[in-house]
Each structure stands twice: as structure tokens, then as C-alpha cells.
Chain A
């Protein structure tokens, strides 16, 4: 269609990424945190946004007592979670409230999640409908989280944003995906992961096409979500390695996964220009690091930094795997 103006003003330079799969148990949160941590080690300034009402990411990286305190306080004027920020939209009392991210380590920041974000998610269905009725209130609700992230990116000079999302095809994941510049699909080596890609591709198709229609009709004075996520690649993970090779039945699923990624994501979303020219659909590989993952979650550190489990070799292998992924992300998002 014709027209001018992208509808997005002053978008901060940070690249926004989500590790997204509506199938649960594929390691979204673990991958998100470890990739983000590795990017910060490589000198990038990274913002983690825990947009999953189940708060797994926040529970992973902040101390239980601190998280408890944050959740207790989030409804008060001094609250500091994503809910504190979005609450005015849910209550139709105004725009988002700016909150400060928590500094987890040098160059790594977190906007903490909140169980009550599910209240905001309920409203999102109404906001979406209101966009189709060309009502400004709907657009304001749909872009609120993006605008919060934008403010934090500008004030903290962020290079990369990672949204952590819940395992569902819901309205919250829809706005996250439409706000992201890139998405990564984590997948386990099993039949259900392969099957899930088809429904994932269909959902992405309908989200992007509906939103792009909306962009054409949105009130000219509203900020919008870009609606142009590109596919950074899939991440097969948790497969077992035996004598240097991938065990046989998993090798079968690995090739099925790659075929499905091509057909159900790259081909299915071709008209939206999601592919990165020249990039392999596989972003990297994360094998099963055994006890490291559980220990990493207990200790609240990246899996290559755990102290209570695994061997030095395992940790080195994990560090290498995530370093490769992080470096590839830096290259491909330039």
C-alpha cells in the first residue's frame, strides 16, 4: 500500500528479540537468560523483560526474598515490576508508568515480571479489538509495553532487549512478537516440538497480517508496533551426545525440525520478509548439559558459572555454546 511515515517515532536503537515457542518446556527462559548474559559478557548492554505472568525469568535471576518483596509492593506507587508500569492501562487511568530496571550485573538489566501482568493480558484482547475499531485507546494499550521498553532502552543505552514469554499463543505474546525485530525458536528434539512449528507459523502469519492491515488504518498520530519480526534461527536443544555424535532417534528429529522450520516458518511467512538473507535457519545448538541447568536456576547464575554441579569441561562447553550463539546474534542483527 502507499503512504508515508512508519508510525514509529523515536524508536531506541536496541534490537528487540524474543525466544518464542508456544510449546512449553523447550527451555525458553534458560536460553533467554544465558544468551543475554553472554551478550553482556561480550560488552553489550542487555535488558531482560520478564513479560511472562509466571515470572520464571525473575525467579531465575533474582533472590526469592527480593522477588517476594517486589511482588508485594508492585501495586503500590513505589512498585517496580512490569505490572506497576502497565497497571494504569488496565485501569484505564492513563499511560504506562516508567519504572527502573534492576541491574543484575554489569551491563545486564531486568524489568521484573509479575503475576498480575495476566490482568493486563486480559485487557489486551479488548485493546486489540479496539484497534480494529480505530479507537486511540486500543492503540495506546497495544503499544504500552513497547513504549516502556523504549524509554528504558534510551535511558540505559541498551543494545539488546530480550522479552521472556509464556508458553502460549496469547495476546501478550502477540504484542511482544509484533514489537520484536527478531525472534528465535527454541525446539526440543521430539515429535511434539516438530508438530508445534506448524501452529506457531500459522499464529505468526495471522498476527503479522492482521497488524499490517491495522498499520494502514491506524490513526496517523499514534505510535505503533513495527510488525516486522525477522527470524534469527531455531535452537535445537537438550539433545544428548554420545561418543561425539547425536543419539540416533534425536538425529532424526533434528532433520525433521530443520525441514519444518523451512516449510512452516520461512516459506509460510515468506510474504512478510522474515528471513535474514544468507543466514542459516539454525542459530546454534544447545546440547543437554545435565545437572548444570537445574543448578543454574537454583544459584541464579548462567549455566556456565554454576558452582554446585557439573564438571569444568561441561561448564566450558556450555560457555562456548552460548558464546557462539551470542556472537552470531551480534553479527546477524547488525
Chain B
């Protein structure tokens, strides 16, 4: 059930979107600085295949705020996002995605991100948390000290939220996932974002694709585990 928003609600949403548009340069500067910190970490470069980034489109922010407001009304809770807390409450206005080849690189990447947080004027305010629906990976992530969350829609990625330690706090979401997970994520995103598809066959096929890409990730992991084992035996 979706509760309709009235004109007052929309006015509130529009004010927040305008506030974002007027201050997009702060988000942009922070995003670029984050990319700079990542770029300058030679360690991270070794493990990351590539890095993508984006700033949230104001239209997508409007959708997100409308959804949140609708949910708040439905649950009869206050909608408490204001101009003062917008840049923290919506923590993916700046977004970075780090792509890598195989799952066991996650431990090293996690160490690199923690080192960046320790060195630069930023703080970790959320995560790392891994979304996963696979028992084997769930235990791997827990084993390297990363919390896990169930993923009903079969989305997989490790998430962090960092914030600038500055007078105005700006946040940035960092997602880390394998290239295979990226394939699934991109297909799902184009079909289900910003609005979920109603087509049953589409939904079914996307769920099936999750199993395909997951097993491809698992195969890549197996290949690298084999290589690691060979290297170990040679030494």
C-alpha cells in the first residue's frame, strides 16, 4: 500500500531537493576528495579492478524522499529529514563503487578502507556490512570481521558509509562487490530502478540471474584458490 502525498508534503520534499541542488558542490568536492584518497592508496589499487562513482541525480533524490515520506505516513511516524540533516540522513548522495575479481580480496580491501579512514579527515559512520543470501559467503564475511545482512531481493555487496569530519558533515556510501555481482546489480538496477517492475517473468529471471552470477563468482574464487594453493606448494 502506498499512501499518497499532499501538496504540503510535496513542498517539503521540493525544499529538500532544492537544498541539495544548491549545495551539490559540497557533495561533489567531498566525492572527489574520497576518490583522491582511494587513488592514492597503492595497496587498494592492487586489489581493486576498477572504481566507479556518481552523484545522486536530484530526480532520484525526489523519488527517494517521496518513498520515505510515504512510508512514514503509512506507519504514522514523523518524517524527520530536514535541510540540517539531509546530507547525513541520505547517505548515498555521493556514491563510490569498488569492483574486484574474487571474494577473498575483500579482507585486503577492508583493511585498505580502514587505513584510509584512519589517515584522512573522515570517519566511518556505518559498516562494513555485507548483504548476502549465501551461507558460504555469510560465514566468510563474518570470519573476516564484516557484519552480514540478509538480502531478500538477492542483492549482494559490502557497504560502508563515511562522513567528512568538518563543519558541514557530508556522507558518501562506498560499495564493494565482485565484477560478477556488478553484472547482476546493473541488470537489476536498469529493470527495477527507480520503480520495481511488475513483470513476473522479469522478476523470476533476475532471481535466476543472481544464482548464475553467484556461481560465476564462486568459480572465479575457486580458480584463485587453486592458484594460491599452487604457489603455496611451490614455496
Contact = CB atoms under 8 A, between A and B. Distances in A.
Contacts of A135: 33, 36
Interface stretch (A28-36, A57-65, A94-102, A214-222): A214-222
Given A2-B84, A213-B26, A136 B166 contact: no
Interface residues of B, number: 18
A134 B167 contact: no
B160 interface: no
Nearest to B33: A134
B33 A5 contact: no
- Interface bracket on A: 20 to 34
Of the listed residues B26, B84, B166, the one surrounded by the most CB atoms of chain A closer than 10 A to its CB is B166
B166 A133 contact: no
Given A134-B30, A216-B167, A1 B121 contact: no
A87 B168 CA distance: 32
Nearest to A215: B167
Contacts of B25: 213
Given A134-B121, A219-B121, A221-B121, A4 B167 contact: yes
A222 B30 CA distance: 16
A7 B165 CA distance: 12
Contact of A218 (B32, B166, B169): B166
A217 B120 contact: no
Of the listed residues A135, A217, A219, the one surrounded by the most CB atoms of chain B closer than 10 A to its CB is A217
Interface in B119-146: 120-121
Contact of A216 (B32, B36, B166): B166
B156 interface: no
Contacts, number: 59
A213 B29 contact: yes
B15 to A, nearest CB: 15
Interface in A218-276: 218-222
A134 B84 contact: no
Say whether chain A's binding surface is mostly helix, strand, loop, or mixed. loop
Contacts of A207: none
A205 interface: no
B30 A217 contact: yes
A216 B121 contact: no
Nearest to B165: A220
B23 interface: yes
B120 A216 contact: no
Nearest to B169: A3
Contacts of A213: 25-26, 29
A196 to B, nearest CB: 29
A132 B166 CA distance: 13
B23 A1 contact: yes
Contact of B36 (A2, A133, A219, A222): A133
Interface in A1-19: 1-5, 7
B85 to A, nearest CB: 9
A185 to B, nearest CB: 29
Contact of A220 (B32, B166, B170): B166
B168 A216 contact: yes
Interface in B5-26: 23, 25-26
A220 B120 CA distance: 11
Contacts of A219: 121, 165-166
Of the listed residues A7, A134, A218, the one surrounded by the most CB atoms of chain B closer than 10 A to its CB is A134
Of the listed residues A4, A7, A216, the one surrounded by the most CB atoms of chain B closer than 10 A to its CB is A216
A219 to B, nearest CB: 3
Contact of A134 (B23, B120, B168, B169): B120
Contacts of A222: 121
A136 B196 CA distance: 44
Contacts of A134: 29-30, 33, 36, 120-121, 164, 166
A217 to B, nearest CB: 5
B71 to A, nearest CB: 25
Given A132-B33, A217-B30, A220-B166, 11 more contacts: A2-B168, A7-B167, A132-B32, A134-B33, A136-B121, A213-B25, A213-B29, A217-B168, A218-B166, A219-B166, A222-B121
> Top 6 closest A-B pairs, CB basis?
A219-B121, A3-B167, A134-B33, A216-B168, A220-B165, A1-B168
26 contacts: A1-B23, A1-B26, A1-B168, A3-B166, A3-B167, A5-B167, A7-B167, A132-B32, A133-B36, A134-B33, A134-B36, A134-B121, A134-B164, A134-B166, A135-B36, A213-B29, A216-B26, A216-B168, A217-B33, A217-B164, A217-B166, A217-B170, A218-B166, A219-B121, A220-B165, A220-B166
